[in-house]
Amino acid sequence: MKFLDLAKVYIRSGAGGGGCVSFRREKYIEFGGPDGGDGGGGGSVYAEAVEGLNTLIDFRYQQHFFAKNGQPGMGKQRTGKDGDDIVLRVPVGTEILDEDQETVIADMTEVGQRVELARGGNGGWGNLHFKSSTNQAPRRANPGQPGVERTLWLRLKLIADVGLLGLPNAGKSTFLAATSNARPKIADYPFTTLHPNLGVVGVDEVEFVVADIPGLIDGASEGRGLGDLFLGHVERCAVLLHLVDGTSETVAEDYRTIVHELEAYGGELADKPRVTVLNKVDALDDERRNEAKAELESACGCAVYEMSGAAKLGVIDVLRALRAEIDDNRLRLKAQDDEPEPWQP
């Protein structure tokens, strides 16, 4: 399934049905009086967060969502049928923005969460509603209220506990493949990852979700490379895992490039807890390994972990460091295989 994290939709709620002007006309009933019914209400447009979706691809092929109009009222005091509602089913983590792409209307963060985007118009009153002691034969009825028409943007921000950051070919996808059942594309050229990937990682009897996004380069905040389009997918993460390629000749500069892009992106992303890792250490001799680690520690001012995702060296220590930064309420117990009961003679 193709990944899509931004979609534009056009919605319109249903208009209410008009009220009816009618009089009871039956044989032997001289003064039947008004009996015009009310119009039905128009359908509303809702958005609901559902399980099983992790992309907005459905909204590429259908952008228009119009609820049904209410039926007009009828004689014999019959009320018109209400228009059917329409529901936009979106993945958990979807933000619903106004047409300016800045005003947040709703943030769908829980399964089953539902929000009303456009309310249907009320049905108009029939002439029966206007009957009174001084006006026993009213000949007026109200029209139904019109529906609401809006243009909205849907922006998906993946729900994950850990976000992977780094330059292209820093080993992010390799780490995800080595620690989870996810199978992202891995190759020896830049921008192998073109869309985010999610993987469930387990350590010390707990599990958490890791998001791998396309690599950043210098100037990404200004649109270079793939830009910062995918940084929104790590905004909700509890901790960021910053991988630095140990085989690079400019380890400290590579680290500062990513930090600069986080600061340029704005928000709280630059202030999130980060675990810094010197990756691909299996390709370094001891002398170069120590030099690179010292250079990186000097640049970040914190402890640096050594790891090789391909050789699975130091992976457990990195996972435990990430687990320590995640709140307990976000962690999940690892699924245990059901052990067969012992045989009883």
Residue list for the binding site for Mg(2+): 173, 193
Binding-site residues, in ranges, read 166-173, 191-195, 212-215, 279-282, 308-310
Measure the CA–CA gap between 97 and 212, rounded to whole angstroms. Answer: 25
Binding-site residues for GTP, in ranges, read 166-173, 191-195, 212-215, 279-282, 308-310
Tokens of 262: 């986080």
Measure the CA–CA gap between 112 and 224, rounded to whole angstroms. Answer: 38
Cβ atoms of residues 203 and 316 within 8 Å: yes
Helix 251-265 vs helix 286-300: crossing angle, to nearest 10: 30
What one-letter code names the amino acid at 91? P
**Beta strands of 191-312 (E only): which ranges?**
197-203, 206-212, 239-245, 274-279, 305-306
Question: What single-letter DSSP state applies at residue 158?
Answer: -
Sheet with 86-91, strands from edge to edge, namely 86-91, 45-50, 114-118
The residue with tokens 């200004």 is: 222
- As beta bridge partners, residue 95 has 107, 155
What one-letter code names the amino acid at 186? I
The region that residue 166 occupies, defined by phi over 0 for left and psi between -120 and 50 for alpha, beta otherwise, is left
CA distances to 245, 255, 289, 295 from 248, rounded to whole Å, are 6, 11, 11, 12
Measure the CA–CA gap between 103 and 143, rounded to whole angstroms. Answer: 33
Nearest Cα residue to 243 out of 295, 172, 160: 172
What one-letter code names the amino acid at 3? F
